[in-house]
């Protein structure tokens, strides 16, 4: 079977809108370039949602190519077709559904051993497949070549070289798909026999064949499912929970389960390992044999030569210098994001202030519609843009550079042991770094976690990271008037709270932390076209989903102000704000405003102080004492994520969990703020 035949049709791209619809699933390990290929093919014709009944994100795109309409689904990055995570369950169920015509298995050519494990399992599902060998440019720099003819002969499927970040070989994947559909319409039915490459040891194969015979002879209902008989037999031996659920739905299956358990015991006694390790070892044995046949090294001297990327890799994963680099990177990210965001935010705020003065002059400051539409609607929009979006976009831009260059997986590797103490693995560091810019995209990024438990803990910890807006309050109030020393104290308290919350959730949420499994591809020059596209894709979720809600919330809050409902709220909150926290009663209103934008708390403090002839400077008729500045800033850091963050948390988990997180953080902020108030008062009294 030849897979690189020339094009036989005479279609042009614009000949017709669509001849036939072809449904493609992109499958592969995390960080192999799946999303890059997806973006290269679909551009902006993408939709983002969740899989039915699941919290796992679903990415779907569309395009017309050579007379065909393609629906392309970017499956979650997975390492196998087991059922250890929701992503694996979702991917497996979708692949065997009737919604998929063909799989494009994206493989990192620089790490065949790890990537081909999933390939072998995909082949067992007997779905038409194309293997896309990505990062071929890096492989060639290492002076390694792959024999594509041998690969195609072994896998009996097309194997194409791809350099996704530069768009090389990407559209050839679609051409190859069309060739398969046109020349092999019964490919799925007449799937090639691959037992010569996917066979296991004799003792395992014998038991697999017995189970297949049992299915066909005694349990024909099992064969009605979309899973092939051989795949079902292997998964039964692996004690796959989802497959066992299918089996248990069938009547009188106890004899079949007894036979399976007997086989498992025999194999584990014979090999001296658990059954999953046995089958994995067999697959890796087949993989090693294939790699030996298809991988060619040019010279031994070239193989041993260390290049610049090797040295950088050693430095950034070093047990000491790696952490120094990580600290410098975090500082650099924050400096870049805050400087760009602060600069743009100031311009937008000044622009809004200028227009606000003109609007007030034209229509009057007390005009109902002005307050409702301008102060509430436009003010909420401009506030979200100037206070969040200007930080979100540059922050995502830097994160995408770090991701595309290959640094983020190394940061996760460095912090893995530390994060295990909190019940999560090193990937959470990525979302926590995001949190320094904005908690909204950071909490959204927690979907990269493998389990629901880890996602919930990661979201809780990430929501406590002081974002750029919180930084504005802390630096603008405590940093400016009390010095950097107290800023450091506040950050120490903040991170102690994160540690405590992580420990509590680790002990109370059922389950255990999974091990960190991440691909660390070689360092490479970032592709800025891809980075800009990814930055936009990440940012647009906030623009189109969070911004409208913030505008509505801003209008609603303005109505509350017009009706003068906040004054009673100040009175109601005074036992907390005045007695417990030792703050002026007016701060209750400011903290409520902080739900929209944390830096509003500081802005309103300044405006209120000026309106009554006071300042924030402790030496010049101050509104707040130094102790009150510290307590106010600390409560602002901890008391609740902004409303947009709460919405994202609810979207990633549930409203119940989002409310629980909000109540937990309010309780911690009030508890710590009150203790600090009475402690500082006690110390002051002694002195």
The residue extents of the domains of the chain are: 20-195, 199-272, 306-687
d(CA 179, CA 233): 32
Largest CA distance in the chain: 91
Parallel/antiparallel/unpaired status of strands 144-146 and 295-297? antiparallel
Residue written as token pair 């031996």: 237
Q: What is the pLDDT of residue 251?
A: 62
Cβ pair 599, 473 in contact under 8 A: yes
pLDDT (0 to 100) of residue 610? 62
The pLDDT averaged over each successive group of 10 residues in the chain (687 residues) is 35 44 90 86 69 68 87 88 77 84 92 90 88 89 86 90 87 89 66 68 88 84 78 88 77 82 89 86 88 76 54 78 85 76 79 81 77 76 72 78 79 75 72 76 74 84 84 80 85 90 82 57 74 77 68 71 73 88 85 76 71 74 86 89 83 86 90 89 68
Task: Using DSSP bridges, classify how beta strands 20-28 and 102-108 pair: parallel, antiparallel or unpaired.
Answer: parallel
How far, in Å, CA of 477 to CA of 598, rounded? 13
Six-digit token pair at 40?
């290269």
Phi, psi angles (nearest 5°) of residue 134: -85, 165
**Could you give the dihedral angle defined by the CA atoms of residues 161, 164, 165 and 168, in that order, rounded to the nearest 10 degrees?**
60
- Give which of 460, 457, 466 is closest to 492, Cα–Cα: 466
Cα–Cα distance, 161 to 137 (Å, whole number): 9
Residue 652, CA distances (Å) to 298, 455, 456, 493, 506 in order = 48, 9, 9, 27, 19
Contact assessment for residue 125 and residue 95, using Cβ atoms and an 8 Å cutoff: yes
Q: What is the distance between the alpha carbons of residues 257 and 25, in angstroms, rounded to a whole number?
A: 33
Q: What is the pLDDT of residue 103?
A: 93
Give the number of C-alpha atoms closer than 13 A to the C-alpha of residue 355, restricted to the C-beta side.
12
Which pLDDT belongs to residue 119?
92
SS3 663: helix
Encoded tokens for 511: 């389950």
- Strand, helix or coil at 426? coil
| 3-state class (DSSP) for residue 252 | coil
Judge whether 115 and 107 are in contact, CB under 8 Å.
Answer: yes
Beta strand 129-134 with 159-161 is parallel
| Residue 313 neighbours by CB distance under 10 Å | 18
SS3 320: coil
Q: Is 104 helix (H, G, I), strand (E, B) or coil?
A: strand
Distance of alpha carbon 604 from alpha carbon 570, whole angstroms? 15
Burial class (CB in 10 A: 0-12, 13-18, 19+), 475: middle
- Residue 681 CA, chain-centre distance (Å), reads 44
What pLDDT was estimated at residue 409? 75
Check if the beta carbon of residue 416 is closer than 8 Å to that of residue 425. yes
CA angle 489, 493, 497 (to 5 degrees): 170
Quick check: helix, strand or coil at residue 90? Answer: helix
| Secondary structure class of 11 (helix, strand, coil) | coil
Alpha helices in 474-599 (DSSP H): 480-482, 484-508, 528-541, 547-562, 566-574, 587-593
Strands annotated E in 253-338: 295-297
Closest to 82 in 3D by CA, of 267, 286, 277: 277
- Residue 422 near residue 504, CB atoms below 8 Å: no
Tokens for 587, please give them. 């701060």
Q: How far is CA 475 from CA 468, 486, 488, in A?
A: 10, 10, 10
pLDDT of residue 196: 63
120's tokens: 């072998």
Q: Give the whole-angstrom CA distance, residue 259 versus residue 445.
A: 44
DSSP states along 29-47:
-TTSSHHHHHHHHHTT-EE
As beta bridge partners, residue 103 has: 25, 129
Residue 330 to residue 411: CA distance in whole angstroms: 10
Show the tokens assigned to 261.
Answer: 């358990």
Query: 20-195 belongs to which homologous superfamily?
Result: P-loop containing nucleotide triphosphate hydrolases (3.40.50.300)
Bridge partners, residue 107, by sequence: 133
Q: What per-residue confidence (pLDDT) applies to 107?
A: 94
Look-up of token digits 């950034």: 316
- CA dist., res. 446 & res. 457, Å (int): 9
> So what's the pLDDT on residue 99?
84
Query: For 66-124, where are the E strands, in sequence order?
Result: 68-74, 102-108
> Any idea what DSSP says for residue 57?
E
| Structural contact between residues 439 and 641, judged by C-beta atoms closer than 8 angstroms | yes
Q: In terms of residues, how long is the chain? A: 687
440's tokens: 């909204």
What are 384's two structure tokens?
């979200």
User: Which residues on neighbouring strands pair with residue 144, listed in sequence order?
Assistant: 297
> At a CB cut-off of 8 Å and minimum separation 6, what does 525 contact?
405
- Among 49, 170, 59, which residue's Cα sits nearest to residue 106? 170
């Amino acid at each position: 079977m030849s897979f690189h035949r020339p094009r036989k049709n005479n279609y042009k791209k614009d000949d017709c809108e669509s001849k036939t619809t072809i449904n493609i699933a992109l499958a592969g390990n995390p960080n192999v370039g799946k999303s890059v290929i997806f973006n290269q093919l679909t551009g902006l014709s993408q939709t983002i949602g969740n899989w039915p009944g699941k919290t796992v994100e679903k990415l779907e795109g569309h395009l017309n190519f050579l007379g065909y309409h393609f629906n392309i689904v970017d499956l979650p990055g997975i390492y196998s077709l087991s059922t250890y995570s929701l992503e694996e369950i979702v991917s497996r169920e979708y692949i065997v559904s009737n919604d998929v015509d063909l799989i494009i298995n994206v493989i990192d050519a620089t790490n065949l051993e790890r990537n081909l494990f999933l390939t072998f399992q995909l082949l067992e599902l007997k779905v038409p497949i194309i293997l896309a060998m990505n990062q071929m440019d890096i492989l060639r720099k290492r002076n390694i070549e792959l024999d594509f003819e041998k690969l195609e002969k072994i896998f009996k499927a097309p194997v194409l070289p791809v350099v996704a970040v530069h768009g090389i070989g990407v559209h050839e994947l679609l051409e190859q798909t069309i060739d398969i559909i046109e020349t092999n319409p019964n490919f799925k039915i007449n799937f090639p026999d691959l037992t010569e490459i996917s066979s296991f040891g004799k003792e395992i194969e014998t038991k697999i064949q017995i189970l297949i015979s049992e299915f066909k002879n005694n349990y024909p209902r099992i064969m009605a499912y979309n899973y092939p008989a051989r795949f079902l037999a292997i998964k039964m031996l692996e004690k796959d929970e989802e497959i066992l659920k299918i089996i248990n739905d069938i009547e009188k299956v106890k004899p079949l389960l007894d036979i399976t358990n007997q086989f498992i015991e025999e194999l584990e006694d014979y090999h001296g390992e658990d059954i999953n390790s046995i089958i994995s070892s067999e697959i890796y044995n087949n993989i090693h044999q294939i790699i030996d046949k298809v991988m060619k090294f040019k010279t031994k001297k070239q193989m041993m030569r260390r290049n610049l990327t090797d040295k950088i890799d050693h430095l950034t994963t070093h047990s000491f210098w790696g952490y120094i680099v990580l600290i410098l990177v975090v500082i650099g990210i924050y400096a870049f994001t805050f400087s760009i965001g602060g600069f743009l935010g100031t311009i937008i705020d000044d622009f809004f202030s200028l227009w606000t003065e003109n609007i007030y002059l034209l229509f009057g400051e007390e005009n109902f519609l002005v307050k409702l539409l301008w102060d509430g609607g436009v003010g909420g929009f401009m506030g979200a843009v100037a206070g969040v979006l200007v930080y979100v976009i540059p922050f995502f831009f830097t994160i995408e550079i770090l991701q595309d260059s290959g640094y983020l997986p190394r940061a996760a590797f460095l912090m893995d042991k530390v994060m295990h103490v909190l019940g999560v693995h090193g990937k959470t560091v990525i979302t926590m770094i995001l949190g320094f810019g904005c908690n909204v995209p950071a909490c959204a990024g927690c979907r990269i976690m493998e389990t629901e438990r880890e996602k919930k803990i990661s979201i809780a910890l990430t929501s406590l990271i002081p974002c750029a807006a919180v930084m504005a309050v802390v630096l603008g109030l405590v940093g400016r008037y009390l010095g950097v020393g107290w800023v450091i104290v506040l950050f120490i308290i903040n991170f102690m709270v994160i540690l405590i919350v992580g420990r509590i959730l680790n002990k109370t949420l059922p389950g255990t932390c999974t091990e960190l499994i991440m691909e660390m591809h070689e360092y490479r020059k970032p592709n800025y076209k891809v980075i800009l596209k990814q930055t936009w894709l990440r940012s647009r979720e906030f623009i189109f989903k969070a911004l409208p809600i913030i505008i509505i919330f801003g209008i609603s809050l303005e109505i509350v102000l017009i009706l003068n409902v906040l004054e009673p709220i100040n009175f109601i909150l005074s036992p907390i704000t005045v007695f417990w926290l030792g703050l002026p009663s007016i701060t209750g209103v400011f903290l409520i405003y902080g739900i929209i934008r944390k830096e509003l708390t500081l802005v309103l403090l300044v405006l209120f102080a000026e309106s009554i002839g006071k300042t924030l400077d402790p030496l010049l008729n101050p509104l707040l004492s130094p102790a009150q500045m510290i307590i106010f800033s600390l409560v602002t850091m901890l008391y609740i994520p902004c409303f947009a963050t709460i919405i994202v948390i609810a979207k990633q988990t549930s409203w119940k969990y989002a409310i629980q997180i909000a109540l937990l953080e309010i309780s911690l902020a009030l508890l710590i703020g009150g203790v600090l108030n009475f402690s500082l008062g006690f110390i002051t009294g002694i002195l």
